[in-house]
Structure 1
Amino acid sequence: MKKTSLALAVAAGTFGVSLMAQAEFIKDSTASIEARNFYFNRDFRQADTPTPSQAKSEEWAQGFLLRLESGYTEGTVGFGVDALGTFGFKLDSGDGTANSGLLVPDRESGGSQDNYGDLGLAAKAKISETVLKVGSLQLKNMAIGSSDGRLLPQVFSGGQLVSKDIAGLTLDAGYLDEVNHRNSGDYEGLTMTSGGRRGIAFEDGNQSSNFVFAGGTYKFSDSLTGGYYYSNLEDLYKQNSFNLVHVLPLGDKQSLKTDVRYARSTDDGRSNVDNKAFGAMVTYALSGHSFGLGYQSMSGDTGAAYVNGTDPFLVNYVQISDFANKDEKSWQARYDFNFASIGIPGLTFMTRYLTGDNVDLGTNVSDGKEWERDMDLAYVVQSGPLKNLGLKWRNATVRSNFTNDIDENRLILSYTLPLL
């Protein structure tokens, strides 16, 4: 497993400094271990399956995640260190059912490797409300979002600076050079998502040396927040992203939330990226109920651009599809219910239906069409000896005239034990 040598060196130095001011360093530290048991079944329903020998992808695996976040040493500049240790191993896989994303593919056998894992360290320094982290990072912003939809999370190597010194304003900038994907134990170079009917082409391959981003969010009032990010996947694409979120209180336990997103992506020398992605989601909340309606539109010469394997900042990015193909227009209807409103805390339910059309298939036959239906049912034990034990069932169905027809089920059993 490859480690970022700079991060390890800085982390070691940070630990040495921390010994001189252990009180705050230890007092504010948190640590936990999460056990995650994951069963994944994806059934390909169309006649011409992705590979003639594979009618389904089915695997079962066990993962462990050790998270440590230290406090900071005393002084004008506080130092600390974060750690993320991961380990996953195979419980069941074989007979041509690999490639679920839970485990590392085995190129020789065509199946999956027995186990994988990593230890990621990040050194950090803090001045007032500004924090610099260097090393292994998980990110979640308008420019890039680390995926955590399988057994182990996606982790990047690089640096990130976040400042909250000005009330209501969060500034965020970063540099990334490698990624350890959710089904990998090794770091590798960055690439761009190019699947589906995006119409994206490359010169000299889909590889980039780095990804940079800068932007932030500002809370204009208690009800209105705005955001902007600039990002660049070196040589492949440049992007400007905008976001406005407004929450309108309507009375006792009622609100109307409007979330509007827009991203303009262009090429950066070695691709043909040209995309405008617009999306809006309006959600009405009443007690434990939430009713949402979303719309997403792609325009330009290609579909949406984002770093491969990440969760893009799109309102119609869901369990299987992102509805971000060339010229695609899509709608979403969503319903959520929190059973805490009727006296069952920890139990939640979500269902949604999305339909997309007008996809440019590059032919004169017809436009591409697809739909997806999702359902999530989850429960987390709230108290007692099994507190933090969670069980989630995720179900999805996809039908399309240009990509795979899929029936999918995921069962996830997780337990988080606080250590500090």
Structure 2
Amino acid sequence: MYWTMRWCSLVLLSTLIIPWATEGKVVNSFHECRQFFCNGEEPFLFKIIKPQRICQYYRSQFHFATAYSTGLRIPLYSAYKVETISYENDKRPKLFFIEPQLDQPDGSDEMSMEQGVENNQALNSDYRNKSYERGHLFPFSFNRGSGKASCTLTNVVPKTRQWNTKWFHFAEKIIKNMMCPPLTTLFVITGAIPSDKFLNERVNIPKGVYSYFSCCSNDSDHRNKSRKKSLKSGGYILQETGMTLITLNELVKLIDESIEVNPKWSEPAVSQSESILLEELEEFLKPKWYERPYSLELSNISMTLFHAVSFIILGVYDCVALVIYGVFGVMCGLGNVVLRIIGVVVAFVNLLLAVAVGVLLAILGLIGNICSQIVFLVIKGFLFIASSLLILITSVVEFLLMSIASIPTHIINALSHLFILLSGV
């Protein structure tokens, strides 16, 4: 603990005295950091809320841009472009930075630690409520230079742990799998939709968080009027109801009718058909089999074991049927023999896979049940066992009936081949 505290103190001291400390600059326009916007133009024009524009600066370079509301004390959006995902050993600081110029217009460009006079922005003390975390808009791991550049309170909004974990999972998953056409770069606008709820009576708790993606030209000359239209664009939003794919028009309706889309941005940033990217996003968001949650209920474990055993029995039955069918096939020609052998091999492979999957699921279920359900089994064990036995007996009967029903089919096939053989003789 002693060395950990010393290390944290040294890290904090270095952020205050090292010349290349994190910087942020409040600007009148995003001209200095326009490279983070498609066509160098900000996406939205705000009619009521007048956000402060911040070019986020760190280690002598700009990393992303933020539109920040001093009234709500949250960022309305952060804009960035994705070239690589950084996995450097950068540690998140315990205390995030604030932007001095939001409260003192003549203050330093550099981000700094809290000075006790910040009224127009969130503070680290606002997030002492354990129900909410500092949820990044520009993700920590997406910065090619350093993740610490994203650790500023002007880039985070209050999120519950569940929301924050789910958002990070889907955001990184999508970015890692998304492919833009050649000579284009992925530009992202990640923002928050304000609500009427506040954290610590100061910081707005958004009712939704969204990302909108555009694959735009790499042309660095933002004055070029002949820029090509984005080939891919689309987005998604995370709300209490879950994750939803959205088009730009749907997004604007959800955010607020008091904003309008900047046509200088939307003309190159929004593709003619947003369905292409939305279909890709839908595929990315589908959970893989290993991402699906496991249930520790005894009845579900019993059903898992039963399905595994049933799968094995069906595999053995198919193998036996294929062997018998193959024997008759030998009499019909060598070509059929080869096909039957291939079928037998495939059946045995399926059997091995069924055994492996069944055993693995059974082990996972049993381990989880032993660790977390001991008390639960003592109280309601008899009821679950009775229910499981009833399901097992019903399923066995159903399986036997289906198996018996399929026997005549195999007998008919065998007799037909025998008849063909006899006819040939």
TM value normalised by structure 2: 0.25
Q: Which has the higher strand share?
A: 1
- Higher gyration radius (CA): 2
| TM-score normalised by structure 1 residue count | 0.25
Larger fraction in helix: 2
